Amino acid sequence: MMQRSRRRRLALGVTVTVAFAALLAGCSNNNGQNSLDPAGEDAQKIMDLFTPIFWIAVVVGVGVFAAVVFTLIKYRERTGDESPKQVHGSTPLEIGWTIAPAVILAAIAVPTILLIFDIAERPSGDDVLKVEVTGKQWWWQYEYPEQAMVPTQAVVTANELHIPVDTEVELALHACDAGFSEGECNVIHSFWVPELAGKEDVIPGRENYLTISANRTGTFLGQCAEYCGLSHANMRLRVIVHEKGRVRGLGREPTGPRPAVG
């Protein structure tokens, strides 16, 4: 008998330790893709919405668990108890737990919807950098049409998006498989650099827009966030944020005549 309870306690201890280890592993923030460490305007707005919603969820969660634990302890069966009186519902309670969640959800929905419209707005102005992004299997192509030194040849990079600091960058997102011609692309990707902006799907036959910006220089990592085939996990992305003026033609007015071509 003694042995059995010791074994039970040991099993409980192991379970709790493993559960805590798994929980703590989720707190790792060294993968360079931490949406809780925003470095861009829209990422900051998303964080500012997330924080109060997180604390509302914490209050609701703790309240529910506390009520369950309180009820389990206070109303547990004791020897000699008779069966409790059987009841069928309580109108005030039912009205209460219908209205309270509705109010909480409405309070969360209003700022969420406002933010969705806010960050979906396309930026305007001369200093907005425009980049054409094409999601392929399994890499990202970035094209800078306005930075072309030769009018018909845009600057093109693969997997590395170079942008100037403190500048709004509008990404026009397309999807295409390298093996297909334009219009025949058939794989959906999703563009996500958690520290700079929200997530935007990259859909064949559509042009979606995403505004990103960075308030500090450095390298920011991202990942295709929509399963797109066997090498989906390798479809990473990297945004390199430079001081203004360090990238020729990016984030500043051209200072001299373009070099002659030919």
> Which positions touch Cu ion (CB under 5 A)?
189, 224, 228, 235
Nearest distance from residue 155's CB to Cu ion, in Å?
A: 23
Nearer to Cu ion, 118 or 184 (CB): 184
Establish how many alpha carbons lie within 13 A of residue 230's alpha carbon, considering only the half-sphere containing its beta carbon: 0
Judged by DSSP in three states, 58 sits in helix
Nearer to Cu ion, 173 or 228 (CB): 228
Nearest distance from residue 138's CB to Cu ion, in Å?
A: 6
Token output for 120:
């979906």
Nearer to Cu ion, 132 or 166 (CB): 132
DSSP 8-class letter at 78: -
Nearer to Cu ion, 108 or 188 (CB): 188
Greatest pairwise CA separation for the chain in angstroms: 100
Nearest distance from residue 144's CB to Cu ion, in Å?
A: 21
Nearer to Cu ion, 228 or 247 (CB): 228
Find all residues with CB under 8 Å of 45, minimum gap 6, and list them. 115, 118, 119
C-beta neighbour count of 242 within 10 angstroms? 17
Nearest distance from residue 179's CB to Cu ion, in Å?
A: 15
Nearest to 41 by CA among 261, 258, 195, 191: 195
State how far the alpha carbon of 44 is from the alpha carbons of 38, 137, 194, 214, in Å. Answer: 5, 31, 10, 10
Cα distance between residue 141 and residue 129, in whole Å: 16
Nearer to Cu ion, 190 or 211 (CB): 190
Nearer to Cu ion, 134 or 167 (CB): 134
Nearest distance from residue 235's CB to Cu ion, in Å?
A: 4
Nearest distance from residue 202's CB to Cu ion, in Å?
A: 7
Q: For the residues of 90-147, what is the DSSP string, one character each?
A: -HHHHHHHHHHHHHHHHHHHHHHHHHHHHHHSPP-STT-EEEEEEEETTEEEEEEGGG
Nearest distance from residue 46's CB to Cu ion, in Å?
A: 22
Cα distance between residue 222 and residue 237, in whole Å: 5
Pairing between strand 208-212 and 160-164?
Answer: unpaired
